[in-house]
Structure 1
Amino acid sequence: MSAKPTDTIPTLEGEAAAAVAHRGGHVQIIAAAGSGKTEVVSQRVASLLADGETPESIVAFTFTEKAAAELKERIRERVTAKMGDTATDQLGRLYVGTIHGFCFRLLQTYVAKYETYTPLDPNQLTNLLYREANRLKLRRLDPDEKLFRGITAFQENIDIVENELMRVEDLPESTFRDSAELYYAMLDGYRFMSFGTQIVEAVRALEDTEIRAAVTAALKHLIVDEYQDVNPAQEQLIRLLSKPHGTADVVVVGDDDQAIYQWRGSNVDNIVSFKDRYPGVTQFNLLINRRSRPGIVQLANGFAQSIPGRLAKEMGLFRAEAGPAVSIAVGHDAEQDEADAIALDIEALHAQGVRYQDIAILVRGRNAYTKILDALDISKIPVQPGGRTGLFEQPEAAIFGATFAWLSGVDWAPGRFIKREKTFLPDLLDDYRSTFGLNDDDIQKLQGHLIRWKSKTTQDPPDFDPSLVREFYDLTVLLRIAEWDLSDAHQRNRLGTLARFTNVLADYESVTRRSRRDPENPSEQVGGAVGNEWFYRNFALLLVNYATGSYDGFDGEEDLLGDGVALGTIHGAKGLEWPVVFLPSLTEGRFPSSRSGRVKDWLIPRDLFEAARYEGSDAEERRLFYVALTRARDWVSLSSHSKVTKNATKASPYILEAQALASSAGLPTGAEPRGIEMPDLAVTYSELEAYISCPQSYLLRNELGFMPPVKSEIGYGNAVHHIMRVIAEHARATGKLPTPKQINDLLTSDFFLPFANKAAHKEMREKARLLVFKYVKENQDDIKRTWATERPFELYLDGVVVSGRADVIYDEHDGVIDNLAIVDYKTATGGEVHPLQLQVYADAGRREGLTVGAAFIHDMSTTTRHTVDITADAVKAAEATVIKAAALLKKRDFTPKPEKSKCVSCDVKTVCGAAKLK
């Protein structure tokens, strides 16, 4: 690694430099903790581009979206320094992202039906399984036929099916197999995809040689970071993209000692056996730990020797000795005593000049949080936000949960292990009074509102179109939320809790109200459930049985300058580092976890997969301990306690082994502060447009997370865009327009509206049919000249990177070959035309070297084509607008821009004190 950096690019030496320079064949980079793998990967990409490789020829997979953003930023810096701005402008065509993201994009690009599919996160998937539990027979998967246990069992086992690329038809006949077959049919009916199905379907698509040829046509270099964490399905994806099956030389980067996700499917054998499974592999070892002081490195090295089956290696030292680096305290009396001692140490460190933000407290499980938070609170030590507490531990969320339970007569408790009790209206009103500071007049109005609301929930069918999110916003008016001071950090965090609750509402509603294809008539769709008594009751039951234990509280706004101690789990700290790290609660049963290695009663026969991998092991727990040790740069503190409440507990064997490997010392004599990096702002055009329109609305929706209400017309624009894209792609591939019958068939099979009932779907499809046929009739020549659809662009300006996708690009504008015209479809403009988006895309395209001769906004509802000014002066003015907005957003300037025309239709107007509604 670097001995002496240049002004902009660190100079690499030894195997690090060799890994950057190597060409031809597969590469395995074993990168120890703190060895600078991100720098090596970034310089390798920059070197490939400098050698003449195109951005499209390089794909880099990361484990998280955050890691992807960091890697792409580093690549951009190295490319700019090595090759200049012109090369940087090409980077929008280089994919750096998660495997899930790559798979979803692959499916939407090369398997047309998936363009109308929606990805589900784990909470949304649980909501869907809850909705469909009877149809999927999920109760039968639990011995006691408990619904939510059956849902959990199904999720755990279907994850294995997907991780291991099992085919459902190959499973032995069983209730689980029946449920799985129904599950995949159900996902298709609703046009949903889980994280697991995104990868499975991408692998199946790549097994089609024609699709694989198209996907890999430009691909020459595949980079896989954190390779030790890939599961068998992801490994198969990598194998199909790599030579000899695909076209890419693959570079895998990782460390078997840091493989900590086998319990969710990853297989450490992938990295251990890579050289044996791929042909012509060259291995490079990055073993110098540049992060940690020698005492920490030596302790981690010694402990790593106890991990079975690891690749033989030892981290080398880089930093000089500089005082105490390790502290070990075995056997504080009680857990609270241990937490108090940590608080005292933090106070002492802070008095020495160590910033709070340079300190982390990392634990094996969240059950250790409570005592630590109590001790930090008593000592007035600030703590960074970050989802440490459950949402329903916050009083605001607990009251809202109790309200929905009261509406449906369901017993309520704000946690899974708290006794549920009947909620009475007077008690509920008292809670509202104390939590929201309401007066007698407020309470009287609230009481009347709640009584009327409850009477409406029993109407079947309802005489209104309920939206839980909209009803929640109606409630916020009575609570006078709009009067809260947005400049007050505490009030903003409380608003964040309210926003998180709208996520709970939206997850339930977006799944429960989701339409599906009519199995009896696939050209039509059946609407989802709409607010009858069971709609509300099922939501209340979901709250008490699932949501109270599964939704984290508000994570807080990202503030790079905020000074607070980080408190989190070791799993969540992967890839991070701090000058000072505390590792408390190292007791038997907590670390290693008492659940690790426990044999489970799977619904899939154990001989069909490596069950032990999913059940955890001492080896995996030891790797996790190694990861924890290597998060520290200057000083690490290990501690345990002897009692939990009144029950005695033994110290973890790991802290005892550490005690034998390293001598304990006092507090560090100093700690080097972390540099605060201020990366360029990376935003999508849609995000930028939302901020420019109204910064305060952007704060409420994009930063705090308030969700929009569900509306039946949602998705109409996307559905029309999909039809137009397929028509354009057909013309590009064949040189001909599709026939009227083909267009009608396409509308019949592919026009999907996620929340429309049968009548609304028919009505809006007919409306779309008229728009599409009129467009095709009037723009035949343009369609035949299709150059690209859904073309991604990235514009790199001072301090900001703006990304987006152009709907369609036509070639031969004005009859000139390679003279391109960008067209953006609008299903309705409302008479207003906003040119900034296409000016940004035209600017990005020209910087890539494309000739962009024109840009148009096409209003399909009026068949009007508006010309966008993309002259040099107009584009320069657009750049200034983008740079100014980005600078204000980075400064976190959320000054509102209220206008009645915007505010009356704004989703968050009831929680916004600046809204102009009259």
Structure 2
Amino acid sequence: MIHPQLHELYHGRMNEEQQAIISHREGPLLVIAGPGSGKTHSITLLAMNLLLSGEATPSQLILCTYTEKAALEMQDRLAGIAKAVDYRTDLSQLKIDTIHGLCNRLVEEHLHHTPLGNGYEILNQFTQPLLIFEHLTEICHGQTLPFFVDLWGNHWQVAKRLGEYFDKVTEELIFEKLKKHVTQLSRPTNERDKFLYALTYAYKNYQQLLAKTNRVDFAHLQKCAYNLLQKRPEIIQGLRYILVDEYQDTNYIQEQILLTLARATESYNLVVVGDEDQALYRFRGATVRNILEFTTRSEFASACVQHHLTTNYRSHPQIIDFYNRWMRTLDWRNGEHDRLSRTEKIIQADPQATFSDYPSVLTLQDADVEQEAEQLAELIYTLKEQGRISDYNQVAFLLYSVRSYMSETYIEAFHKQGIAVHCPRARQYFEQEEIRLIIACFAYLLDYDGMHQDTVMEYSAFPGYVRACLQQLHTHPALVQVLQLLKEEVVHIIEAREQPGKQLLDYFYLLLFHPAFSGFLANETQRTNLVAFSQHLATFHRYYRDTSPDMSALGQAHARFMHTFLCLLYENEANLPENPNLLFPSDHVQMMTIHQAKGLEFPVVIVGRLDKASSLSRDEYKNENKHLQGFYHRKPFEAEEKIATFDFRRLYYVAFSRAKHLLILTAKRQPHVEFATIWRTAPESVYARDRLRLMPCAEAEPHTALKPRYSFTGHIQLYATCPRRFQFFRQFNFVPRRAQEPITGLAVHHTLERIHRLALEQPHTKLDDSKLISIFEYTFAFLAASSPASIEASQREQALQQVLNYVHANQQALTTIADIEARFRVERDRYILTGQIDLLMQGSQGLDIMDFKTSKRPEQDTDYLAFYRQQLYLYASALQARTGQAPRRLFLYWTAEEHKKDALMEIPYTPTHIQEANDYVEEVVTHIQRQDFAIQQLPHPGVCKACDVRHLCRREGIV
């Protein structure tokens, strides 16, 4: 049954299948949802219906989706529905995230039950192979490394391939099986056993490396969460419903995590939504078997309900008929017992809609790519001139790959027609003017000329690239003069073997605010590229911070930044960074891969180079994991000889189904044989252009931007301290050179968090000094492993003493802990305020809030004490929204004070204080959203002295 308020709001906007989904109450549910069928809308309404009907509270509900952006959109959509139906319960305890995000949250909240420490780093697609590369001899002992080099090539290729295999071993949960197999081998003789032997021991060493460096890759993050759920079943207590979108893109370990979460109820309230026809991520370990076998799970106490969403509400009927035929013309029988690799379904157009009669699927081909591209650009230009589209960003050009060999001809043709193209994934990052200039600056600074130095990779094109960049530098003589002065400083430090006070990020900010870069900073796209470079510098510093005994820090930077790090980044072909606030720039045709387009829709879609599809033919498929398959927990699901064919169909099904009004197919000379049959059913564009005047005009759809998220310390306080600092490090997202909080403060804070969690879970545990010291040393070791700063022994002792003093003085208070690091999210009309409350304590008359400060109590009222008061008032407001009751008391605890009477500071408050704090946040957010970043009042001199933006302020005469 649908709650009356929800039914009234959406009456007439739900078909029968959607109503059945939204009405679901108990047991497992599978929803097969075709393109444009409103699946995300349905799953969001189901969540709201469960909340409205009292079947679940927000803390009892988990929603998982595939991307972070989709998760944030779902948060905003659910908050909007809640407001529309007057659901007033606080939604901040509702978990909406990707599976990776959910795993990360589980690990963070139960870190003390994992082998990880505070501040652990999650590796990405570049830093994982980088870590492996830098520790190859540690991971691959003896003859293991030569074995892998013979198999895969140079050390960088070995690092990348090992990362892929390590992920597969982790995601399939087969390491124990591999260990058992390898230990039973007296001596590996055949190639398979040699490979398994080498891989197993390399994997074991890799795990030890991750533990030592306090890092996890995405696969190990999931494994850590999986282990938590297996060993700590109490974690899932209270959960009622697990709702999962894009279930066809899950892998084995993700399926196991979701099933474990659903075990919280006997009825297995697990709802999964997806479409096996849109499964594109086999290369990431995903398998369609999870969705196709879902209804047959033996764990389910009751029969699994199944619904199909087969009405496409966005596309013209001819487009729908076209991609239906594309799927229907393949034999989907899959090996034994004629099992099908897809569910039987026919997608239909919206029966209530009226469609114009025009050719909505067109083909375009020519003898060469240049002429084909010119025709295409002319056609798109004509559509704009005729008003069929109102903005070029309503056109998506989809290619299997957007690298230059596939995309460059089209981009040039569009440019000749006066049409800009947005193509961030063409791997052209290093070709951007601003990046070439900043790399030339560092090459000059570090005396790397690309001629007299080798690189970490043999036959790399990187030295030649650097030489070309240095040629560009000579067009900026004033910049060269500055670089010469800086270079003399660097040379002096290296020759004198001094420990420098500057890092590469310091030099980056010195250069960034030179007039040569001012034009780049004013351009959003070019600025975003420079932001990415600051992030690369921060990554470099994390991975190469240790100095060798015979070389200064900058001498090592000379050898490693250019020779190794930038060379590997260059060889890895970095993409342009994508601005989340500007995904589809106005008046740009959107050129993207088919994988990028998944989940999107456009009025006009071009699917290009269908003559090139032979690179995906069934003959090309290679089972890279054949040596591991015998250890999987399940037998292969799809016949190996059919996998490439099935994946080929799914890929282009996704491509074709992105189009709303017009689908254009292009090919050089003639299409690939796989497309031949359906190609003939669509008219050539040259014969159909006149009838395109009947195509509906694609009106510009208002882009619903995500509500910005602000925290008090990370945004509000930073803006109040210095608007310009906020602009560069929050608005633009440059990476600051200096950490916001010293490691000693972090050590105290994180140690207290572990102690509080231990006291909450095991209230009778004796916390003597030896136990406290052990917790502190454990926490400190992990922080030191990931911190670039060296710590004096006296600072470490002071931090430990703060912990001991606090626990000695608060033994009784530790028995009253109600919650630790309590998250909150407060919905406002224009933004969302987020944060975490250090400690909630249960008193006889209500909850007390305590926030820890790792410094001494101020002797008098100061600006930062006023900030802390405002922070506590906001916490009080958030807690009242969450619990319906205002906190009893608010406290600051100054841990650097020896005695509790000095450390504990109560902050009296009234409803007026809370209102004033909320008004203050509103005022600051208004300034932020107006982009008022001019400095009206100078910050404290100490703030400016430590600020990377001071070079700009000095240049402008502000300081």
Relative to the length of structure 2, the TM-score reads: 0.84
Give 1:207 deviation, angstroms.
Answer: 1.6
Whichever residue aligns with residue 149 of structure 1, its letter is Q
Change (3 A) 1:423 1:586: closer
1:545–1:735 Cα change, 3 Å: closer
Amino acid corresponding to residue 212 of structure 2 in structure 1: G
Could you tell me which of 155, 162, 166 is aligned with 1:158?
166
Distance in 1 separating the partners of 2:11 and 2:745: 45
Tell me which residue corresponds to 1:638: 665
User: What does residue 13 of structure 1 align with?
Assistant: 15
**Structure 1 partner of 2:512:** 476
1:753 aligns with 2:781: no
* Worse-superposed segment, 277-286 or 48-57: 277-286
1:501-521 C-alpha deviation (Å, 9 max, x unpaired): 112221121122279xxxxxx
1:127 maps to a residue whose letter is: L
Q: Equivalences for 1:424-439 in 2 at 5 Å?
A: 430-434=471-475, 438-439=476-477
SS of equivalent to 1:765: helix
Q: Compared with structure 1, are the counterparts of its residues 661 and 312 closer, same or farther at alpha carbon in structure 2 (3 Å cutoff)?
A: farther
Q: Which residue of 1 aligns with 2:335?
A: none
- Render the CA deviation track for 1:47-105: whole Å, top value 9, x for unaligned: 11112121111001111100101111111112222233x22xx1100000011111122
Query: Corresponding residue for 2:93?
Result: 93
Which residue of 706, 721, 725 maps to 2:753?
A: 725
1:142 aligns with 2:165: no
Once the two structures are TM-superposed, the CA of residue 260 in structure 1 deviates from its matched residue by 0.5
| 1:496/1:554 contact within 8 Å kept | yes
Contact 2:749 2:852 in 1 (8 A): no
Where do 1:171-190 residues align within 5 Å? 172=182, 174-190=197-213
* Change beyond 3 A, Cα 1:135–1:675: same
Shift of 1:614: 10
State the match for 1:899 in structure 2.
938
| Counterpart check, 1:509 vs 2:541 | yes
Contact 2:617/2:648 (8 A) holds in 1: no
Classify 1:104/1:239 alpha carbon distance in 2 versus 1 (closer, same or farther; 3 Å): same
How far apart are residue 532 of structure 1 and its match? 5.5
Decide whether aligned partners of structure 1 residues 598 and 343 sit closer, same or farther in structure 2, where only a CA change above 3 A counts.
same
Alignment of 1:204-243 (within 5 A): 204-208=227-231, 211-212=232-233, 214-243=234-263
- 1:139, CA displacement in angstroms? 4.2
Q: CA RMSD in A?
A: 3.5
What SS does structure 2 have at the residue aligned with 1:821? strand
- Asked whether the equivalents of residues 278 and 654 of structure 2 are also in contact (C-alpha less than 8 Å), the reply is yes
Alpha-carbon shift at residue 35 of structure 1 (Å):
0.4
Partner of 2:599: 575
Distance 1:417 1:340, change over 3 A: farther
Q: Counterpart in 2 of 1:879?
A: 918
In structure 2, the residue matched to 1:519 is none
Change (3 A) 1:859 1:881: same
| Distance in 2 (alpha carbons) for counterparts of 1:118 and 1:252 | 30
Query: More displaced, 689-698 or 262-271?
Result: 689-698
**Aligned equivalent of 1:261:** 281
The separation in 2 between residues aligned to 1:811 and 1:268, in whole angstroms, is: 48
Asked if 1:792 corresponds to 2:823, the answer is yes
The CA deviation string for residues 557-591 of structure 1, in whole angstroms up to 9 with x for no partner, is 6248952332211101111111111112222346x
Q: 2:409 maps to which residue?
A: 371
- 1:598 has 2:627 as partner: no
Which secondary structure does the structure 2 equivalent of 1:92 belong to?
Answer: coil
How far residue 896 of structure 1 moved from its aligned partner, in angstroms, is: 4.7
Q: Distance in 2 between matches of 1:464 and 1:276?
A: 64
Q: Structure 1 residue 738: deviation in Å?
A: 1.6
Distance apart, 1:637 and its partner CA: 1.0
Query: How many Å separate the matches in 1 of 2:27 and 2:580?
Result: 44
Shift of 1:403: 5.0
Deviations 1:387-414 (A, max 9, x none): 5443211133234435555636573899
Specify the alignment match of 2:833 in structure 1.
Answer: 802
Provide the C-alpha distance between the structure 1 equivalents of 2:695 and 2:360, rounded to a whole number of angstroms.
Answer: 12
CA distance in 1, matches of 2:949, 2:376: 42
Q: What amino acid maps onto 2:43 in structure 1?
A: V
The 3-state SS of whatever aligns with 1:811 is strand
1:457 deviation in Å?
4.8
Q: Are 2:766 and 1:766 aligned?
A: no
Q: Which letter does structure 1 place at the counterpart of 2:779?
A: D
Q: What secondary structure is seen at the aligned counterpart in 2 of 1:856?
A: strand
C-alpha distance in 2 between matches for 1:614 and 1:449: 59
Displacement of 1:829 after TM fit? 8.3
With over 3 angstroms needed to count, the CA separation of the structure-2 counterparts of 1:611 and 1:301, relative to structure 1, is closer
TM (norm. structure 1) is: 0.88
Partner of 1:537: 559
Which whole-Å CA distance do the structure 1 matches of 2:954 and 2:608 have between them?
44
Residue 62 (structure 1) aligned with residue 89 (structure 2): no
SS at match of 1:22: coil
Q: 1:629 deviation in Å?
A: 1.1
Q: How do 1:432-511 and structure 2 match up within 5 A? A: 432-434=473-475, 438-439=476-477, 441-454=478-491, 456-457=493-494, 462-477=498-513, 479-480=514-515, 483-484=518-519, 488=522, 490=523, 492-511=524-543
Instruction: Tell me the residue number matched to 1:78.
Output: 81
Distance 2:610 2:565 in 1: 35
What SS does structure 2 have at the residue aligned with 1:720?
helix
Structure 1 alignment gaps of length 5 or more? 516-525, 643-649
Letter of the 1:671 counterpart: C
Q: Look up the match of 1:699.
A: 727
Aligned length: 880
Query: Could you list the per-position Cα deviations for residues 838-883 of structure 1 after superposition, in whole angstroms to 9, with x for gaps in the alignment?
Result: 3222112111213312223333234544444642222222222333
Aligned to 1:777: 808
Q: 2:610 aligns with which of 586, 610, 616?
A: 586
Secondary structure of the structure 2 residue equivalent to 1:35? coil
> What pairs up with 1:643-682 in 2 under 5 angstroms?
651-663=671-683, 665-666=688-689, 667=692, 669-673=695-699, 674-682=701-709
- Give the corresponding residue for 2:645: 618
Structure 1 residues 54 and 370: alpha-carbon distance in aligned structure 2, compared to 1, 3 A threshold:
same
1:169 paired residue among 134, 159, 179? 179
State the Cα distance separating 1:796 from its structure 2 match: 1.3
Identity rate, percent: 22
CA contact (8 A) 2:248 2:291 kept: yes
In structure 1, C-alpha distance between the alignment counterparts of 2:952 and 2:132, rounded to whole Å = 32
Contact 1:338 1:641 in 2 (8 A): yes
**The residue matched to 2:212 in structure 1 has which SS?**
helix
Instruction: Output the CA distance in 2 between the equivalents of 1:542 and 1:603.
Output: 33
Deviation at 1:164, TM superposition (A): 1.2
* Matches of 1:586 and 1:897, distance apart in 2: 58
Aligned residue for 1:311?
A: 343
Aligned equivalent of 2:336: none
